[in-house]
Amino acid sequence: MPRGAGPIVPATHIYRHLLREATYLPPTCQPFLRAHIRARFRKHHHDPPLPNPATKLRLRRARHDIRYLWAANHGLLANMTRIILLAFGRLGKRRRALIAQFVAKREPESTAELAEQLANEISARNDDDTLHPRRPRDWLDEWDLPKFHALAASQAKRSFWSPRSSIKGHRLDPIEALPRENPWGRPLAAKVVRSKLRKWYKAQVHRLMPPLGADEWERLRLLATGQADRSLWQMPKRRPAGVSMIQDETTKPTWDWQRYATEAVRSIERGSSRAAKARTGEQGEAPYGLGPAIGLHSYDRARFWRRLYTRVWEMTPKMAEKENMPGKWTVEWGQTMREVPVATKAQMSFFEGAVVARVKKGRSRYAKAYTVDGDAPGKPPPKPQEVGGGGGQEEQKEV
């Protein structure tokens, strides 16, 4: 079993185990994970003691997080991929923070700009319906909608692997996506239209990939293209666990025959199966514990990290406002060029002495089938008589 994954009661032990596992992650992921662990434990530092059900549930989740980090550090690719997505804001808490920062309106720099912003907001809140000449302010009024639409339109044109649903290019206009009439054929009320509009923006922002800053985006580009320093992607070596030098007979593992007599064997040895061995670290016996664990990868090769960071870089944009064009944005996404690898000398020696196959010539246009009036198949046109041939034309069969 991984260290700290057992039934540890004191919360401080779980806290130390989580921080220790976070130190073995890639250097680009450590700052976010350590800050997140500290923030979560400080937030619930004064919670009720263990008899409280909520505290018991949080400690159970914390022990699960220890096993999750342990498995990621020992080669489980699915866990490591998710941790990198969390660190770069493609999932989780940091993504929500980046989205909130992205949709917020830019603070006005002058009094004239503030007056113009207030005038635009007041005109947007005036509806055509005379019964609702002034609707109340809601959270959608706080969003920078031109910036939102610029990123959504750019993301809809791209095709990349994403942990979230893709944005459809034919449904970028909220006016076209909303219904114009109710089931009785009457125009929708202004309040219903506004409610459906908020729901539409909420569904779209759930699929949006927020942009990163220029410095972080450039660091991710170096990692994806293999130009980054080795210290940015290489994982730290794991320190050996302490071993007690005192031999105690009571601490030796013994066979728990009572558990095998009261429970099913498959439930007891489930943690040592090939599917769960990567997460638990148990080394069981036959029939479930034979063979290597499923899903483990080696972290020693630079190409592995380059491919992993490429997937994250391709779903990460950066945005910059165009000069002298307020409200217009330039969106740049990560993109790598796929090049055909060049064979080495050792690989080329495999093809020495090979016979080069002749390239087959295409059939002449007189031997190809064609259709009459675009539907019914007909006979090909007669082949013209060759100059100096002297012979008659032969009747060709249908193709």
Question: Could you report the per-residue pLDDT of 233-264, keeping only the tens digit for each?
Answer: 888 888 877 776 776 655 556 677 787 788 88
DSSP codes of every residue in 98-112: HHHHHHBPPPPSSHH
In a domain, 113, yes or no: yes
Compute the distance between CA of residue 37 and CA of residue 337 in angstroms, rounded to an integer.
Answer: 37
Task: Count Cα atoms within 13 angstroms, Cβ side, for 148.
Answer: 25
Q: How many domains is the chain built from?
A: 1
- Report if residue 379 sits inside a domain: no
Q: How far apart are CA 32 and CA 93, in angstroms?
A: 10
Per residue in 37-70, pLDDT (tens digit) is 999 999 998 888 888 888 889 999 999 999 999 9
Does the pLDDT of residue 83 top 90, yes or no? yes
Determine, yes or no, domain membership for 272: no
- Please state, rounded to an integer, the average pLDDT across all residues of the chain: 79
User: pLDDT category, 114, cuts 50, 70, 90?
Assistant: confident
Distance CA 243, CA 388 (A): 99
In a domain, 185, yes or no: yes
Q: What is the mean pLDDT of residues 94-103?
A: 93
331 belongs to a structural domain: no
Measured CA distances, 186 to 179, 182, 183, 278 (Å): 11, 6, 8, 60
The CA distances from residue 149 to 101, 141, 211, 324, in Å, are: 15, 15, 13, 19
Tell me the CB-side half-sphere exposure of residue 200, using CA atoms within 13 A: 20
- Give the count of beta carbons closer than 10 Å to the beta carbon of residue 65: 20
Higher pLDDT, 15 or 341: 15
Q: Given a cut of 70, is residue 130 above it in pLDDT?
A: no
Amino acid at residue number 304: F
Angstrom distance (rounded) from CA 289 to CA 107:
60
Q: Which of 77, 83, 85, 80 is nearest to 162 (CA)?
A: 85
**In the predicted structure, residue 109 carries a pLDDT above the cut 80:** no
pLDDT value at residue 371: 47
161 belongs to a structural domain: no
Between residues 359 and 79, the one the model is more confident about: 79
Tens-place pLDDT, residues 278-296: 777 777 665 555 677 777 8
Confidence of residue 2 (pLDDT cuts 50, 70, 90): low
Q: Which domain holds residue 128?
A: 109-142+168-205
Look at residue 248 in the predicted model and tell me its pLDDT.
60
Mean pLDDT of 65-82: 91
Is 12 a member of any domain? no
Q: Is residue 174 part of a domain?
A: yes
